[in-house]
Amino acid sequence: MSRTITIDPVTRIEGHATITIRLDDAGEVADARFHVAEFRGFEQFCVGRSIWEMPGITARICGICPVSHSISAARAGDAILGVSPPPAAVLLRRIANLASLIQSHALSFFHLSAADLLMGMAAEPSRRNLMGLLADRPEVARGGIRLRQIGQRIVSLVAGQSVHPSWAVPGGVREPLPPSHREQIAALLPDGLAIVRAALGLLEEIYDRHGSEISAFGDFPSLFAGLVSEVEGELEYYDGVLRFVDAGGTVVEEIPPEQYDLAIAERAEPWSYMLFPYYRSRGGEADGGMFRVGPLARLNICDSAGTPEAERELVRFRDLRGRGRTVTGSFHYHHARLIEILHALERIGEMLDDPELLDLHVRSDAGINQQAGVGFCEAPRGILFHDYEVDADGIVRRLNLLIATGQNNLAMNRTILQIAGTFIKGGKFSEGILNRIEHGIRAYDPCLSCATHAYGRMPLRLFLLGPDGTLLDEAARQ
Amino acid sequence: MSGGKNGKIRFATVWLGGCSGCHMSFLDLDERLVELAEAAELVFSPFVDTKEFPEDVDVTLVEGAVTNRANLAMAERVRERSGRVVSLGDCAVTGNVTSMRNLLPTSAILAPFRSADGRAGSAFLDYTSVPELLPRALPLHQVIPVDGYVPGCPPDADRIWEAVRALLRGEPVALAESMRTFG
Name the E strands within A25-146.
29-36
Hey, which residues does A253 pair with through a beta bridge?
A244
Residues of A in contact with B67 (CB under 8 A): 38, 40, 451
pLDDT in tens, chain B (183 residues): 555 667 899 999 999 999 999 999 999 999 899 999 999 999 999 888 888 999 999 999 999 999 999 999 999 999 999 999 999 999 999 999 999 999 999 999 888 787 778 888 888 888 887 889 999 999 999 999 999 999 999 999 999 999 999 999 999 999 999 999 999
Amino acid code (one letter) for A351: M
Mean pLDDT of A153-173: 96
Buried-state track B68-100, b at ≥16 Cβ within 10 A, e below 16: bbbbbbbbebbbebbbbbbbbbbbbbbbbbbbb
**Do the chains contact at A125 and B125, CB–CB below 8 Å?**
no
Quote the CA–CA distance of A2 and A467 in Å, as a whole number: 8
Given this model, what pLDDT does residue A38 score? 74
**Do the chains contact at B47 and A112, CB–CB below 8 Å?**
yes
Q: Mutate which of B20, B23, B60, B98 to disrupt the A interface (most A C-beta within 10 Å)?
A: B20
Q: Where do the structural domains in chain B lie, given as residue ranges?
A: 9-102+133-177
Q: Which of A8, A13, A161 is closest, CB to CB, to B51?
A: A8
Quote the CA–CA distance of A298 and A289 in Å, as a whole number: 18
For residue range A4-39, what is the model confidence (pLDDT) as tens digits? 888 888 887 777 788 888 999 888 999 988 887 778
Residues of A in contact with B103 (CB under 8 A): 45
**Do the chains contact at B130 and A460, CB–CB below 8 Å?**
no
**Do the chains contact at B74 and A39, CB–CB below 8 Å?**
no
Distance from CA of B36 to the nearest CA of A (A): 10
Is A79 strand, coil or helix?
helix
Residues of A in contact with B10 (CB under 8 A): none
**Residue B162 CA, distance from chain mean position:** 18
Cβ(A435)–Cβ(A210) below 8 Å:
no
Given this model, what pLDDT does residue B158 score? 97
Q: Which CATH architecture has domain B9-102+133-177?
A: 3-Layer(aba) Sandwich (3.40)
B97 CB-side CA count, 13 A: 30
Q: How far is residue A200 from each of residues A194, A195, A317, A341, B165, measured CA to CA in Å?
A: 10, 9, 11, 10, 36
**Do the chains contact at B19 and A134, CB–CB below 8 Å?**
no
Q: What percent of chain A has pLDDT over 90?
A: 74
Residues of A in contact with B96 (CB under 8 A): 60
CB atoms within 10 A of CB B172: 12
* Cis peptide bond prior to A170, omega within 30° of 0: no
Residues of B in contact with A12 (CB under 8 A): 46-49
Q: Over B53-96, what HEC string results?
A: CCCCEEEEEEECEEEEHHHHHHHHHHHHHEEEEEEECHHHHHCC
Superfamily of domain A84-217+337-365: Cytochrome-c3 Hydrogenase, chain B (1.10.645.10)
**Among B34, B39, B33, B31, CA closest to B10:** B39
**Among A352, A313, A355, CA closest to A188:** A352
Distance from CA of A274 to the nearest CA of B (A): 9
For residue range A206-227, what is the model confidence (pLDDT) as tens digits? 999 999 899 999 999 999 999 9
Residues of B in contact with A273 (CB under 8 A): 113, 130
> Does residue A3 register a pLDDT over 90?
no
**Do the chains contact at A451 and B64, CB–CB below 8 Å?**
yes
Q: Which chain B residue has its CA at the smallest distance from A36's CA?
A: B130
For residue range A308-359, what is the model confidence (pLDDT) as tens digits? 999 999 999 999 877 778 999 999 999 999 999 999 999 999 999 999 999 9
- Average of per-residue pLDDT values in chain A: 90
Distance from CA of A322 to the nearest CA of B (A): 36
Quote the CA–CA distance of A342 and A234 in Å, as a whole number: 15
Residues of A in contact with B51 (CB under 8 A): 7-9, 11, 454, 458-460
Interface of A with B in 96-135 (CB under 8 A): 107, 111-112, 125-126, 128-131, 134
- Sheet strands side by side (includes A251-255): A251-255, A241-245, A223-228, A291-292
- Judged by phi (left if over 0) then psi (alpha if -120 to 50, else beta), residue A17 lies in beta
Q: Of A114-123, A341-350, A453-462, B79-88, which range is least confident?
A: A453-462
**Do the chains contact at B15 and A16, CB–CB below 8 Å?**
yes
Quote the CA–CA distance of B154 and B107 in Å, as a whole number: 29
**Do the chains contact at B52 and A161, CB–CB below 8 Å?**
no
For residue range A95-110, what is the model confidence (pLDDT) as tens digits? 999 999 999 999 999 9
**Do the chains contact at B51 and A460, CB–CB below 8 Å?**
yes
Residues of A in contact with B134 (CB under 8 A): none
Q: Which chain A residue has its CA at the smallest distance from B32's CA?
A: A145
Longest dimension (CA), chain A: 72
For residue range A432-452, what is the model confidence (pLDDT) as tens digits? 998 999 899 999 998 764 222
Distance from CA of B149 to the nearest CA of A (A): 19
**Do the chains contact at A163 and B71, CB–CB below 8 Å?**
no
> Does residue A425 register a pLDDT over 90?
no
Given this model, what pLDDT does residue B4 score? 63
**Do the chains contact at B115 and A112, CB–CB below 8 Å?**
no
Is A51 strand, coil or helix?
coil
Given this model, what pLDDT does residue A448 score? 61
Quote the CA–CA distance of A383 and A392 in Å, as a whole number: 29
Q: Where do the structural domains in chain A lie, given as residue ranges?
A: 1-38+413-477, 84-217+337-365
**Do the chains contact at B73 and A454, CB–CB below 8 Å?**
yes
Q: How far is residue A100 from each of residues A310, A355, A405, measured CA to CA in Å?
A: 18, 23, 16
